[in-house]
Amino acid sequence: MQSPAEIVSHAGGVTGVSWLMIALPLFGAAVLLLGGRRTNAWGHFFGVAMSLGAFAVAVVTFVELLGLQPEQRRRDIGLFEFIPGMVDLGMLIDPLSISFALLITGVGSLIHIYSVGYMSHDRDRRRFFAYLNLFVAAMLLLVLSDNYIGLFIGWEGVGLASYLLIGFWQHKPSAATAAQKAFIVNRVGDFGLLIGIFTIWTTFGSLAFADLTHEVAGQASEGTLTAIGLLLLLGACGKSAQLPLQSWLLDAMEGPTPVSALIHAATMVTAGVYLVVRSGAFFEAAPTAQLVVTIVGVATLLAGAIIGCAKDDIKKGLAGSTMSQIGYMMLGAGLGPAGYAFAIGHLITHGFFKANMFLGAGSVMHAMNDEVDMRRYGALFPVMKITAVTFIVGYLAIIGFPLLSGYYTKEGIIETAMHHNQILGWLAVLGAGLTGFYMSRMVFMTFFGKKRWADDAHPHESPAVMTWPLIILAIGSIGLGAFLVLGNRFMNFLSPAVGLPQPADMPEPHVFGVGTAALATLALVAAGAAFAWFRYGAAEVPAVAPRASFLTTFARRDLYGDALNEALLMRPGQWLTRIAVFFDNRGVDGLVNGLAAGIGGTSGRLRRVQTGFVRSYALSILFGAAAVVGALLYVGNI
Amino acid sequence: MTTHYLVLSALLFAIGGVGVLLRRNAIVVFMCVELMLNACNLAFVTFARQHGNLDGQLIAFFVMVVAAAEVVIGLAIIVMIFRTRRSASVDNANLLKY
Amino acid sequence: MGETITFWVLAVVSVAAALGLVFSRKAVYSALMLGVVMLSLAVLYAVQDAPFLAAVQIIVYTGAVMMLFLFVLMLVGVDSADSLVETIRGQRFWAIVAGLGFGLLLALAVGNVAFSPAAGMGRAVSGRDGNVPALAEEIFTRHVFAFEVTSALLITAALGAMVLAHRERVRPKATQRDLARTRFAGPQPSPLPGPGTYALHNAIDMPALLPDGTVAVTSINRVLARHEMEEGYAPTDPEKAALIKQVLEKDAARDAAPVEGDKPIQVKDALQDEGELRDEGEPQAGTTSRKENAPQEEDGK
Amino acid sequence: MNGGTIEAPTIEYALLAPMLLIFGAAVVGVLVEAFAPRYLRKSIHVPLTLLALAGGFLLTILQAVREGVPTTPAAMGAVAVDGPALFIWGIILVLAFVSTLLINDDEQFVAQAAAVPGSSDEEAAVRHGYAQTEVYPLLLFSVGGMLLFPAANDLLVMFVALEVMSLPLYLLCGLARRRRLLSQEASVKYFLLGSFSSAFFLYGMALVYGYAGSIDLRAISSALGTVAGQDILLYVGVALLGVGLLFKIGAAPFQAWKPDVYQGAPTAITALMASTVLVAAFGAVLRVFWVALGNLDWDWRPVMWGVAILTMVVGAIVAITQTEIKRMLAYSSIAHAGFLLTGVIATGGPEQNQEALSAILFYLVAYGFATVGGFAVVTMVRDAGGEAGHLSRWAGLGKRAPLLAGIFAFFLLAFAGIPLTSGFFGKYAVFSAAVAADALPLVVVGVVASAIAAFFYVRVIVLMFFSEPAADGPSIAMPTVGTSAVVALAAAATVVLGVFPEPVLNLADQAASALFIR
């Protein structure tokens, strides 16, 4: 099937071996899992090496891609044809996918390195690295595949890796439950994605991105496109923890902290954003679906921020923040080509500063005997300066402190949203203010104020293998945003993959990016930070959470997300299951069991026909011969 | 006449088939198979005359050769199993079943 | 006319002989009946312008193949009268139904075809020196490949007979002298067990072996076994020792709870024991042959 | 006339070279048996056999590559070496080569077949290290027959080839080293039923000859429709011919021999039968039913429908309750014969025929390799008394020998037709060809049967990996070089055919596009 899109035939070069990107970590996972205890001694280094190798390949591929004309920066690499003309596996290397690949392998490698230190006391470190490698491979397959099948395989692969890693400490019942929860909630989303893919297949007859261009998508009816968009969005919501499928993310913090940093902050949870951007052709042709995307994004960014305000568990606070930031990205992704560059840009900068903060949090926990309650922290700044400084850099980046990474990308999303729709814009600004509050709260409660440590806590700085990744991530958190956004550099880079926005959709450029919305945002953020200072910096923080107002409780309980799930989904679900079970037992099961028993019984009876007497066999042959002769005569009408 | 010969061959073939089903002595069973082959040969020769070409006779000749080889193998196998079991009954060999 | 008479005579003879082959009790009779059929067919071949085949039929089939059959029959034992008592339920009924059905189907099928008068072999052999050269020409031209391939068949046959029947001597054949020496100077003055008993030893303290090499539980001598166990002369073979022990324990258990007096161990119980002791999936050669013996005995009366 | 001169026949030796090489090697093997000292025999036989098979394969390839596919029958019209035949030769020779590696294993064959099982004679033979090296020439004769069987251009040659193929197999079945009672029983059963069924084949041949006046396949085809009033001869003849052929592929209701013979025969021979014989028999079935009876397809196809459905259903259902691994694989082989029959039914017009034919050819390659590999694994799982056949003994094998169990599980998945294994494409190709030929109901039955079949394959996998191993479970024999090569080769072929089926599919397509010489 020749794709309508222009396919640049690649004549060798590094892109020819870019499959190594996926193959290396997969190989690592295979070696570590199959090798068993023999690889205990060097397994973690091997895992790191595989991840770094993938990073190196990604960098080289990226450099080679940069060397091409922008319109040629698109390479389809057919890996193999599975069912000719139906299911082919191949890689699509274009600006969008290579951006993701760089983020995944780059941040992934840093987190691998960090984990060498963080997991050094764990007996199952090798298994941990195997899963990490598996995750990286699956995630790369997800973003590098040139069709929805490969994407789906990667999608399920990261789901599996995430499940394994959340439940890594199986001995903790909470971890096991959380892993199951994540798995089940994700199934809902995957179901949507799968149906969406089926719909695409039946509508367009192809699943290759190259075939599903804007022109092709335009041929379908808008109703179909909206349906496809909403189904894909359901998938995206599941993976990216957007409302209403957000509830698993907070529980997922039961996993080891590097996992939270890599999977549940920097990479996997952004897969939904990738899906929406990659499927831009459908969304842009279905405004309703796009609108729903923006609404989900805004609702999630507010919900996440509110949750973040009330959490005392440092990782859960960060998880709420992640939800919120992905809400921003989703909002950007719902705005069409104008928002894509900012959404992906924010995704990348967020990958850096959020990973940075998670790892920082991990470093703090490492120092505080795995204590996660911020009310037991305080005044850690002098004890662990590197962690604190890097964390604060991340903090400044996330709240949008001018000239740091988050400022540029988040501001871009807010302004584009404002230009698109005032209400969305102002809600996004409000979210920014909340971010200012809860992030400041986190920093003040952790690093400043008075010591509220447990008696046996002896905090200390983490080893270099853990701090160096922090430092590198912090540098990224500072400079990356400006690098990407200024001069629309990233937008132009991405445009061959996702298209350039109409000029009318773009907000007016500002000198140094300061406009009304930006000013309002800055003001609100400052107010939020100041409020946090009065509440948690200057004032005494009680070591036990006080009874709180309705609103705080509301936020502490994850906006009653679980209760809502329970009331809306679980209870009716249980009723449904009960009814289903009833019918299942009586009807379906009866049928299936009856069928199984029937087949088994038939089998048992037929088996007895094989008496072992050769004369019986001869009899059956003679009967068979007579039957065949008779049948043929009958058919031949003689 | 052709029909007569053919009916005779069909009868002999069927009798041979029944014999295979009824007899337990492996050697007799095998004789019945030989009877079936002979019936085939009769049909071949008859058809050869019917069509006036030699192919039928030729095939019959080949069948005899093949049958001779088959007899040697078959009897060797029967002798082998008789040595082990001290019985040439085909019903005795029914360890393999179900 | 002559052909018609020949046909009807030989048809009746051959069908009768074929039925005799199927229904005669003695295998030798069956073989002779088959010979009759073959000879009749040979004549029918000759009648149908196939003199070469008629000769080959007599020489190869009746002369060689049938002799081979008879030879093997002698080897196997001519007196092994084949029982006509059916052991497989329904086999006889269904065999006759299927046979009749199939035979009728075939006979009706070929009987209903309207043949034109036979072309005869005249045309086929005309221009050649009769039937045999004509056949030869066919064999060595058009069908030469089939002819060559049959050689593979014949070699296979020879090889197969060698494999299955030829026993190579592992040690030199014992001379009369050797035999006499072992007979008188050897450890075993008594004769060895006769064929068919599957025993490697004939000492009473050694249990018999079944064809598959396992111990026949029924053959364990309880008295001796108990004595052996008590005196500590257990057999060296651990498997046998374990088996003997097991049997004794079972006896002891039975003795401990006597039901209706002192019941001697009966064959039936022992058989059950054997079934329990064996692996379920293992073939039970012993029981099969025992089952088989029953009708034969009945038949022998 | 001068009757003394006969014009010498022309035989295309080059075309027939692969087959002649095999037969020649077999004869040399017999001479080795006769003249070489005992201790040398095996070391002569093994290379001789392997070289002959490999040489035959090379000659086949040379034939296909250099001289192209001939369009007229060879050897005075006796043998048709055409595209499908060359492909089938290739498969048979490769699979036979692989099976020979397996046969090479010392533990497979009886020391002296003539010695009564359990007797002191046998013991002595074992002690002296005797080996029945006649196995190798017998194998070669059989392979020669297999090559001729699907390439036969007239029914006589086909009948002779059938016997050449079968007679050595009857013998080989009875030569297992352990459980000789079972082995001999398998031999007797196979022999009696085999000769019984070939009598049917022969009678069918007689009737078809009576109808057409010739046994040449092409002549039969051209006689169809021109002979008036004798259709009944043709129909009965075709039915009986079909009985003989269907017996060889093990289609129901002629399948009864398969489980018993597969279980009793030495496993290496079972592997040979389950792979190469099936390939050869399907080649013959295709040739008879397409070349000779292609114009009669409206009549034989409905009957074949019934046979295919019955075969699939019986194979799949009865396999469920099997407790013996080889028996289970035998039933699985029956079910696969049914799947392949759907492909036979799908043959029709030339284009349709090409698709169906290439599907069948690919299926045969895929199934052949997986099945040889599967049986090779079976030879390695051993108890004190030989192979541990009972399924309960396989419980927990995944914990004892994860690699072996994993490979076996992979073969089972290939049988089940799971994607990324070779079996998937085989089934896919055959079923899609059947759908194209309007045999949708048949495909539905096929899919249902596959689902049932998948159940018992998966059951074995579950048994191996999720059951506790028995305390006195079977040991895993240290594989010889030959056996491990077989397992590795078969596994590699199954993977490659499952992941990169393109080249072989193309090859099969090419072979099929030449069609049978008609």
Q: Which of the other chains make 3 or more beta carbon contacts under 8 angstroms with chain A?
A: B, C, D
Report yes or no: C31 at the B interface, CB cutoff 8 Å: yes
Binary contact (B84, D188; C-beta < 8 A): no
pLDDT band at D194 (very low <50, low <70, confident <90, very high): very high
pLDDT score recorded for residue C202: 58
Pick the residue with more confidence: A498 or D312?
D312
Domain contains A608: yes
Domain contains A132: no
Binary contact (A626, C98; C-beta < 8 A): yes
**Which residue of chain B has the CA closest to A608?**
B98
pLDDT band at A566 (very low <50, low <70, confident <90, very high): low
Binary contact (B30, D163; C-beta < 8 A): no
Q: What is the DSSP letter of A449?
A: S
Report yes or no: A635 at the D interface, CB cutoff 8 Å: yes
Percent of chain D with pLDDT over 90: 50
pLDDT band at A366 (very low <50, low <70, confident <90, very high): confident
> Are the C-beta atoms of D299 and A636 separated by less than 8 Å?
yes
Domains held by chain C: number: 3
Report yes or no: C234 at the B interface, CB cutoff 8 Å: no
User: Is A410 in the same domain as A548?
Assistant: yes
Report yes or no: C137 at the D interface, CB cutoff 8 Å: yes
Within the 147-206 window of chain C, which residues sit less than 8 Å (CB to CB) from chain D? 149-150, 152-153, 155-157, 159-160, 162-168, 170-171, 198, 200
Q: Which distant-in-sequence residues (6+ apart) come within 8 Å of D358 by Cβ?
A: D429, D505, D508, D509, D511, D512, D513
Report yes or no: C283 at the D interface, CB cutoff 8 Å: yes
* Cα dist from A351 to A343, A354, A356, C181, whole Å: 12, 6, 8, 98
User: Is C62 in the same domain as C22?
Assistant: yes
Domain contains C160: yes
Mean pLDDT of C232-250: 73
Domain contains C88: no
Determine the distance in angstroms separating the CA of C255 from the nearest CA of chain D, rounded to an integer.
33
Determine the distance in angstroms separating the CA of D336 from the nearest CA of chain A, rounded to an integer.
17
pLDDT band at A12 (very low <50, low <70, confident <90, very high): very low
Binary contact (B94, A612; C-beta < 8 A): yes
Mean pLDDT of C198-225: 68
Report yes or no: A85 at the D interface, CB cutoff 8 Å: no
User: Is A457 in the same domain as A571?
Assistant: no
* DSSP-based three-state secondary structure for A78: strand
pLDDT score recorded for residue A162: 84
pLDDT score recorded for residue C184: 79
Residues β-bridged to residue D386: D383
User: Is C223 in the same domain as C151?
Assistant: no
Mean pLDDT of C235-241: 71
Mean pLDDT of A195-217: 79
Tokens of A236: 């995206």
Determine the distance in angstroms separating the CA of D125 from the nearest CA of chain A, rounded to an integer.
31
Domain encompassing residue A630: 566-635
User: Tens digit of pLDDT for each residue in A296-354?
Assistant: 888 888 888 888 887 778 888 888 888 888 888 888 888 877 788 888 888 888 888 88
pLDDT score recorded for residue C152: 94
Give A616's contacts in chain C (Cβ within 8 Å).
88, 91
pLDDT score recorded for residue A554: 64
Q: Structural domain boundaries of chain B?
A: 2-89
Give me the residue from D121, D132, D138 closest to C156, CB to CB.
Answer: D138
Binary contact (C285, B72; C-beta < 8 A): no
User: Tens digit of pLDDT for each residue in A593-628?
Assistant: 777 777 778 888 888 888 888 899 999 999 999 999
Mean pLDDT of C52-59: 93
pLDDT score recorded for residue D27: 95
Percent of chain A with pLDDT over 70: 84
Binary contact (D167, B62; C-beta < 8 A): no
Binary contact (C101, A626; C-beta < 8 A): yes
Whole-angstrom distance, CA of residue A345 vs CA of residue D409: 46
Give C284's contacts in chain A (Cβ within 8 Å).
none
pLDDT band at C271 (very low <50, low <70, confident <90, very high): very low
Whole-angstrom distance, CA of residue C215 vs CA of residue C210: 6
User: Is A462 in the same domain as A550?
Assistant: yes
Report yes or no: D187 at the B interface, CB cutoff 8 Å: yes
User: Tens digit of pLDDT for each residue in C12-50?
Assistant: 999 999 999 998 888 889 999 999 999 999 999 999 989
Tokens of A231: 């189904």
**Amino acid residing at D258:** K
Give A607's contacts in chain B (Cβ within 8 Å).
98
Determine the distance in angstroms separating the CA of B37 from the nearest CA of chain D, rounded to an integer.
6
Binary contact (A622, C88; C-beta < 8 A): no
Percent of chain C with pLDDT over 70: 72
Domain contains A54: no
Domain contains A526: yes
Domain contains C289: no
User: Tens digit of pLDDT for each residue in A118-171?
Assistant: 777 777 788 888 888 888 888 888 888 888 888 888 888 888 888 888 878 777
Q: Which distant-in-sequence residues (6+ apart) come within 8 Å of A84 by Cβ?
A: D502, D505
Domains held by chain A: number: 2
Mean pLDDT of A284-302: 85
Domain contains C120: no
Whole-angstrom distance, CA of residue C107 vs CA of residue C99: 12
> Are the C-beta atoms of C38 and C66 separated by less than 8 Å?
yes
User: Is A441 in the same domain as A473?
Assistant: yes
Q: Does residue C235 surpass a pLDDT of 80?
A: no
Determine the distance in angstroms separating the CA of D517 from the nearest CA of chain C, rounded to an integer.
18
**Amino acid residing at A86:** M
Give me the residue from A611, A619, A633 closest to C98, CB to CB.
Answer: A619
Determine the distance in angstroms separating the CA of B38 from the nearest CA of chain D, rounded to an integer.
9
Q: Does residue A295 surpass a pLDDT of 80?
A: yes
pLDDT score recorded for residue C261: 44
Q: What is the DSSP letter of A372?
A: -
Pick the residue with more confidence: D113 or A584?
D113
CA-based nearest residue to D206, from D215, D197, D217: D215
User: Is A374 in the same domain as A461?
Assistant: yes
> Are the C-beta atoms of D105 and D478 separated by less than 8 Å?
no
**Which residue of chain B has the CA closest to C57?**
B64
For residue D88, with 0-12 CB atoms within 10 Å meaning exposed, 13-18 middle and 19 or more buried, which class applies? buried
Binary contact (B90, A619; C-beta < 8 A): no
Binary contact (C170, D113; C-beta < 8 A): no
CA-based nearest residue to A484, from A599, A598, A352, A393: A352
Mean pLDDT of A502-510: 62
pLDDT score recorded for residue A581: 67
Domain encompassing residue C211: 197-277
pLDDT score recorded for residue A505: 65
- The most confident of the ranges A406-410, B41-45, C249-253, D476-480 is B41-45
Whole-angstrom distance, CA of residue A561 vs CA of residue D320: 48
pLDDT score recorded for residue C265: 43
User: Tens digit of pLDDT for each residue in D10-63?
Assistant: 888 888 999 999 999 999 999 999 999 888 888 999 999 999 999 999 999 988
Domain contains A513: yes
| Domain boundary residue, one of C78, C99, C121 | C78
User: Is C8 in the same domain as C67?
Assistant: yes
pLDDT band at C192 (very low <50, low <70, confident <90, very high): low
Class of domain B2-89 as given by CATH: mainly alpha
Angle, CA D181 vertex, CA D180 and CA D185 arms, to 5°:
110
Domain contains A440: yes
Give A618's contacts in chain D (Cβ within 8 Å).
192-193, 196
Scored b (16 or more CB within 10 A) or e, C167-201 reads: eeebeeeeeeeeeeeeeeeeeeeeeeeeeeebbee
Helix H or strand E encompassing D219: helix D217-223
* DSSP-based three-state secondary structure for D96: helix
Domain contains C21: yes
Domain contains A486: yes
User: Is C4 in the same domain as C74?
Assistant: yes
Whole-angstrom distance, CA of residue C211 vs CA of residue D334: 32
Mean pLDDT of D133-137: 92
pLDDT score recorded for residue D374: 93
pLDDT score recorded for residue C283: 42
Phi/psi of residue A78, nearest 5 degrees: -75, 120
pLDDT score recorded for residue A85: 56
Binary contact (B77, D191; C-beta < 8 A): yes
Q: Does residue C67 surpass a pLDDT of 50?
A: yes
Report yes or no: D113 at the C interface, CB cutoff 8 Å: yes
Determine the distance in angstroms separating the CA of C263 from the nearest CA of chain D, rounded to an integer.
36
pLDDT band at C81 (very low <50, low <70, confident <90, very high): low
Report yes or no: A538 at the D interface, CB cutoff 8 Å: no
Report yes or no: D475 at the C interface, CB cutoff 8 Å: no
